[in-house]
Chains A and B, each alone.
Chain A
Amino acid sequence: DTEVTQTPKHLVMGMTNKKSLKCEQHMGHRAMYWYKQKAKKPPELMFVYSYEKLSINESVPSRFSPECPNSSLLNLHLHALQPEDSALYLCASSQEGAGSANTGELFFGEGSRLTVL
C-alpha cells in the first residue's frame, strides 16, 4: 500500500467549477510534488514544494493553484479548467527537499483521475 494518500480518486467537473485535489503523507518527508500524467505518456512535473515553500513551478497555468498548509499536506486547487486538463494527477513525496544529499527516490500516491467536461 502506498503511504501517500490522494483524494478523491476520481473527479468529474465542469469548466466553471472550483474543486481541489488533496494529498497527504506521514513519512516525515519534506518535499512534495504534483505531476500530471496524460494517457500513454510519462508523468510531467507541475510543482515542487520544499520545506513547505513552493520551489518549482513548471510554467503551469494559473487555473492550477497549489497550496501546502503544512509539511504533511499538499493541495491542488482547480478553477476554470479546460477539457484538455483531463488527466491523472499524481502526488509524490521525497525525504528531503532541494539541495539535499537525497538520491532522488519519490514515493507516489495512487493519483486522482480528473475529467473536465
Chain B
Amino acid sequence: EDKVVQSPLSLVVHEGDTVTLNCSYEVTNFRSLLWYKQEKKAPTFLFMLTSSGIEKKSGRLSSILDKKELFSILNITATQTGDSAIYLCAVALDNAGNMLTFGGGTRLMVKP
C-alpha cells in the first residue's frame, strides 16, 4: 500500500525561527512529490519535486528531494506568523493520472 508520512505532526515556533518539515514515502511508480500549504480553505501549491538533490527555493521557503532515501524536506527560514498553516506533502504516481496520495500534514504555528 502506498504511504506518505509527515513529521512532526505539529510544531510551535517563534517568529524568526527556522523550521524543517519532513515527508517520507513508500510508493510504487513514483513520479513527483508536491508540497502544499493549507490555511483555512484550499491547499495552495508550493513546490513540485521530481529529481533528487535539486533544491527548489521560493523566498524563505526551500525544498529538496532524496529519491534514494525516499524523503523530502521543506525548510522555512525567518518564520513569520503568516506561515502558520498546515503543510501537506503529496506524492503523484505514474500510471495513476494526477491522483495525489497525501501525507497527514504538519500543523505549524508561528507565535509573535
Interface residues of A (CB under 8 A from B): 2, 4, 31, 33, 40-45, 48, 50, 55-56, 88, 90, 94, 96-100, 102-111
Secondary structure type dominating chain A contacts: loop
What are 20 A-B pairs with beta-carbon distances under 8 A? A4-B42, A40-B107, A42-B105, A43-B102, A48-B98, A50-B97, A55-B97, A56-B97, A56-B99, A94-B97, A103-B92, A104-B98, A105-B45, A106-B100, A107-B45, A108-B43, A108-B44, A109-B42, A110-B41, A111-B41
Interchain CB contact under 8 A, B104 and A42: yes
Q: Among A41, A44, A100, A108, which residue has its beta carbon within 8 angstroms of that of B42?
A: A108
Q: What residue in chain B is nearest A2 (Cβ atoms)?
A: B42
B residues less than 8 Å from A110 (CB atoms): 41-42
Q: Among B42, B90, B98, B103, which residue has its beta carbon within 8 angstroms of that of A90?
A: B42
Alpha-carbon distance between A98 and B31 when the two chains are bound, in angstroms:
13
A90-B42, A103-B50 in contact; A42/B95 too (CB < 8 A)? no
A-B contacts, CB under 8 A, total: 75
Interchain CB contact under 8 A, A99 and B45: no
A42-B104, A43-B102, A96-B98 in contact; A104/B34 too (CB < 8 A)? yes
Secondary structure type dominating chain B contacts: strand
Interchain CB contact under 8 A, B31 and A42: no
A residues less than 8 Å from B31 (CB atoms): 103-104
A residues less than 8 Å from B32 (CB atoms): 103-104
Interchain CB contact under 8 A, A104 and B42: no
Q: What residue in chain A is nearest B96 (Cβ atoms)?
A: A98
Alpha-carbon distance between A4 and B32 when the two chains are bound, in angstroms:
22
Tell me if B61 counts as interface (CB < 8 A to partner A). Answer: no
Interchain CB contact under 8 A, A99 and B98: no
Alpha-carbon distance between A107 and B34 when the two chains are bound, in angstroms:
12
Q: What residue in chain A is nearest B105 (Cβ atoms)?
A: A42
Q: Among A33, A88, A105, which residue has its beta carbon within 8 angstroms of that of B34?
A: A105
Q: Kindly provide the distance from the CB of B5 to the nearest chain A CB, expressed in whole angstroms.
A: 11
B residues less than 8 Å from A103 (CB atoms): 31-32, 48, 50, 92
A residues less than 8 Å from B107 (CB atoms): 40
Alpha-carbon distance between A56 and B97 when the two chains are bound, in angstroms:
9
